[in-house]
Amino acid sequence: MKKLPHMSALGRSLVVAFGALALATAAHAAGDKATYDQAKASAKATYETADKQCDSLSGNAKDICQAEAKAARKKAEAAAQASYKGTPKAEYEARTKAAEADYDVAKERCDDKAGNDKDVCKKEAKAALTKAKADAKMERSDKKASADASFDKREAEYKVAVERCDALAGTAKSSCVNDAKAKYHM
């Protein structure tokens, strides 16, 4: 079965809609429950609209359409959750869920093929999933290493500042130490 032109247009529409949703969600501060709830509700509404558009299709084209709609919803909800939590772990989980959603769509696309082409298609989809998960894991490790290094540098600068305060006495010393704590977030 050939790929239908309106399918790619639907897919692009879903990507644009959920991409805008994810960016809008990410623009808000971590921990904003109202924004998180709104993003989830928007993802659900967009999914339901996209899923209804799939009803006019049949066979694997319908399956692909539904997989794209589900994938877009999963990605939007994962991005909203990552933004809400605001942690490297949440970002990693969002990237992993997005990779798995893409994999589900790719598997459906493989169903249009037969024989070795289908086997190759599935292997390529699985390889893309593995690569995306590895990239997410590596980025998480990089962010953690970067955060650790940043803390270590701040802590070293704080110790130097406190050592300078030792030359002072009384309230001047206390004020100096408090200023150092505030400056270096210790």
* One domain, residues 107 and 117: yes
The arithmetic mean of pLDDT across residues 26-40, rounded, is 73
DSSP per position, 57-96: --HHHHHHHHHHHHHHHHHHHHHHHHHHH-SHHHHHHHHH
For residues 17 and 44, the answer to whether their CB atoms sit within 8 Å is: no
- Domain total in the chain: 2
Share the mean pLDDT of the chain: 84
pLDDT tens-digit readout, 122-178: 999 999 999 999 888 888 877 777 777 778 888 888 899 898 898 899 999 999 999
Q: Distance between CA 66 and CA 130 in Å, rounded?
A: 23
Report the alpha-carbon distance of residue 95 to residue 100 in Å, rounded: 9
**Same domain, yes or no: 121 and 160:** no
pLDDT of residue 19: 52
Same domain, 50 and 126: yes
Residues 78 and 164 in one domain: no
Please give the residue range of the domain that contains residue 91: 5-145
Q: What is the tens place of the pLDDT at every residue in 96-114?
A: 999 999 999 999 999 999 9
**What pLDDT, on a 0 to 100 scale, did the predictor assign at position 144?**
73
Extract the tokens encoding 102: 């893409």
Whether residue 91 sits in one domain with residue 9: yes
Query: Are residues 103 and 35 both part of a single domain?
Result: yes
Statement to judge: residues 164 and 141 lie in one domain: no
**Tell me, what amino acid is at 94?**
A
- Same domain as 104, residue 61: yes
How high is the pLDDT of residue 29?
Answer: 45
Average pLDDT over residues 71-88: 92
Closest by CA to 78, choosing from 102, 54, 105, is 102
User: What SS3 class is residue 6?
Assistant: helix
**Based on the domain organization, do 11 and 48 belong to the same domain?**
yes
Is there a contact between 70 and 104 (Cβ–Cβ < 8 Å)?
yes
Cβ-in-10-Å burial (0-12, 13-18, 19+) of 165 comes to: middle
Q: In this structure, are 121 and 79 located in the same domain?
A: yes
Please write the tens of the pLDDT for every residue from 11-20: 555 454 445 4
Instruction: Based on the fold, state whether residues 111 and 168 are members of the same structural domain.
Output: no
pLDDT at residue 10 in the model = 52
Are 78 and 39 in the same domain?
yes
User: How confident is the model over 164-185, as pLDDT tens digits?
Assistant: 898 899 999 999 999 999 998 8
State the alpha helices, DSSP H only, in the chain.
5-27, 33-54, 59-85, 88-110, 115-165, 170-184
pLDDT band at residue 30 using 50, 70 and 90 as cut-offs: low
